[in-house]
Amino acid sequence: MSDLLVMRGIVKQFPGVRALDGVDLDVRAGEVHCLLGQNGAGKSTLIKILAGAHQPDEGTITFGGEDVRFSGPIAAIKSGIATMYQELDLVDGLSIAENIFLGHEQATIGFTRRGEMNKAASELLGRLGHGEMRPATEVGRLSAAGKQIVSMARALSHDVRLIVMDEPSAALAHDEVGNLFRVIRDLTAQGVAVVYISHRLEEIREIGDRVTVLKDGRTAAVGLPARDTPTSTVVSLMTGRDVAYVFPPRPDPGSHDNSPEVLKVEGLTLPGRFTDVSLTIREGEIVGLAGLVGSGRSEIVETVYGARRASAGQVVLAGEPVPPGSTSRSVRLGMGLAPEERKSQALLMNESVARNITIAGLTKYARFGWVDRKEESAAAVRLAEALDIRPPDPRRPVRTLSGGNQQKAVFARWLVEDRKLLLLDEPTRGVDVGARAELYAVIRRLADEGVGVLLVSSEVPEVLGLADRVLVLREGKVIHESDARDLDESRVLDMIMEGSAL
């Protein structure tokens, strides 16, 4: 079978970084080609070049047997390449249908044919297993997962020969990923090629045909068979060393039973979102929240943190009641939150990595409001090193970092001060295997130092592997609580999907 797409010797230079340094990629029609690589390896950059969003400095692209050079996104789309970008690229003010057809609206002399577009959008959503989403709904009101689905529908709306998906599963829950895979199989059956990027190796194994591995802007391996290459080989190709996908050892069950309570939540309720949630976290304990996307986990976390005001219930931190609705008070009392959407909720995109790290603990480096910049930058350097943020230059604007490294910067923020409680909402979303292991170790180390941790993750194995105790959430209610070791993945999945499997 001849190659549909051949990229050779692609080089891309950004100010100060050589993001791609001679990358090769071959994709055949009808295959799922996985692109792997650590955070910052250059995956997103490569596919942006393929999509015409960036211009390569060097290298050639052959698509469908012809040499091409895409001057802009429209050129790539016209040739039959559709892209789902890593950072969601939807317009909040427009409806689902309008987002799907943005740029290639169905129109007569400029007048949109709304009925037709809505119908077509409905069909696409139905194909993705979401016939219930109304095409006229405004995208700004959708959850991250909903947006991801719209983004997918948009890619499908083009008449394509190649679809690129940059971490499409990052915001999706388990069953959604199943849906996604079904669609991908449909596509490949019709001869469409898919380039698939993900940090979840088990997904690669399930859906992928061949794998290309990037490391530091170079191709480390081309076209390995996805199912037959041992994980250890892939990981060592990516990282240049052997990293086991393992969780740090945890203390024996019950060893926290006598530690003082860090957090006590009683009867917390936010109508329509969650009801009567109670939980306690003891010093040194990691408590995991498992649940479907949309089950209210993020909102519980945000409410505990004081970013939302509960209608009932109370939150007590180390014996002190936390006044609702004030994040600054919560931070002062010793809480920290790594929110779910790093771009919109956590990062100051125009500022340097250093400043993103120190912003929450600024008072620690300040006397009477006066910032001691030496101390501050020393702390930033130390923390950036501790989490191995790459490139290792804390003065870079955080916007130029890859997604995973941005996440580390957010995380580093809360290592600054002596925290009593850390709330981690999807802390490893978009983080590569190597870094993940490091983050797990950091989280565990913090716990061992006496910090309480509330962990939310859509990856059940992560919750089960890292947490000491697990709460299972369904439709805003806690339906189960037990030691993590007493659960396995299928049991948790059964519980969270029970009754909602339809």
Residue type, 162: L
CA 306 distance to own-chain centroid: 23
Alpha-carbon distance values, 92 to 24, 316, 411 (Å): 36, 36, 27
Picked from another protein, ligand ATP, Mg ion, none, the partner binding residue 91 (CB below 5 to 8 A depending on kind) is another protein
Nearer to another protein, 219 or 352 (CB): 352
d(CA 81, CA 163): 6
Taking CB under 6 A as the rule, does residue 342 contact ligand ATP?
Answer: no
Per CB under 5 A, the segment of 174-182, 336-344, 356-364, 480-488 that binds Mg ion is: 336-344
Strands 261-270 and 274-282: antiparallel
Nearer to ligand ATP, 9 or 391 (CB): 391
d(CA 473, CA 455): 13
Taking CB under 6 A as the rule, does residue 497 contact ligand ATP?
Answer: no
Residue 458: name the closest of 88, 169, 198, 244 by CA.
Answer: 169
Taking CB under 6 A as the rule, does residue 41 contact ligand ATP?
Answer: yes
Within positions 239 to 278, which residues make up the interface with ligand ATP, using CB under 6 A?
Answer: 273
Nearest approach, Cβ of residue 165 and another protein (Å):
14
Nearer to another protein, 239 or 298 (CB): 298
Nearer to ligand ATP, 284 or 394 (CB): 394
Residue 447: name the closest of 307, 290, 255, 245 by CA.
Answer: 255
Within positions 29 to 48, which residues make up the interface with Mg ion, using CB under 5 A?
Answer: 44
d(CA 406, CA 386): 14
Q: Which of 44, 169, 229, 377 binds ligand ATP (CB under 6 A)?
A: 44
Nearer to another protein, 91 or 244 (CB): 91
Q: Which of 3, 31, 340, 462 binds Mg ion (CB under 5 A)?
A: 340
d(CA 200, CA 203): 6
Q: Is cis: bond before 391, omega within 30 of 0?
A: yes
Nearer to ligand ATP, 44 or 229 (CB): 44
d(CA 157, CA 135): 13
* Residue pair 431/86 in contact by the 8 Å Cβ criterion: no
Nearest approach, Cβ of residue 41 and another protein (Å):
19
Taking CB under 6 A as the rule, does residue 356 contact ligand ATP?
Answer: no
d(CA 305, CA 124): 38
Nearer to Mg ion, 284 or 403 (CB): 403
Binding mask 112-141 for ligand ATP (x = CB under 6 A): -----------------------------x
Residue 191: name the closest of 60, 80, 86 by CA.
Answer: 80
Taking CB under 6 A as the rule, does residue 77 contact ligand ATP?
Answer: no
Binding mask 378-407 for ligand ATP (x = CB under 6 A): -------------x--------xxxxx---
What tokens does 109 get? 């002399």
Nearer to another protein, 107 or 441 (CB): 107
Q: Where are any strands of DSSP class E within 361-417?
A: 366-367, 370-371
What tokens does 388 get? 């191995």
On the 0-12 / 13-18 / 19+ scale of CB atoms within 10 A, 57 is: middle
Nearest approach, Cβ of residue 470 and Mg ion (Å):
16
Picked from another protein, ligand ATP, Mg ion, none, the partner binding residue 328 (CB below 5 to 8 A depending on kind) is another protein
Cβ neighbours for 347, distance < 8 A, ≥ 6 positions apart: 356, 398, 399, 406, 409, 410
Per CB under 5 A, the segment of 145-153, 291-299, 370-378, 484-492 that binds Mg ion is: 291-299
d(CA 21, CA 301): 42
Nearer to ligand ATP, 113 or 215 (CB): 215
Residues in contact with Mg ion, counted by CB under 5 A, come to a total of: 5
Within positions 452 to 471, which residues make up the interface with ligand ATP, using CB under 6 A?
Answer: 458
Which residues, in sequence order, are bridge partners of residue 27?
5
Taking CB under 6 A as the rule, does residue 17 contact ligand ATP?
Answer: yes
Per CB under 6 A, the segment of 237-245, 292-300, 314-322, 412-420 that binds ligand ATP is: 292-300
Nearer to another protein, 283 or 299 (CB): 299
Cβ neighbours for 236, distance < 8 A, ≥ 6 positions apart: 242, 243
Residue type, 112: T
Q: Which of 248, 251, 294, 450 binds ligand ATP (CB under 6 A)?
A: 294
Q: What share of the chain is helix, strand, coil (3-state, %, to 5)?
A: 35, 30, 35
Residues near ligand ATP (CB under 6 A) are 14, 17, 19, 37, 39-45, 86, 141, 143-145, 273, 291, 293-299, 340, 391, 400-404, 430, 432, 458
Question: What residue ranges bind Mg ion (CB under 5 A)?
Answer: 44, 86, 298, 340, 403
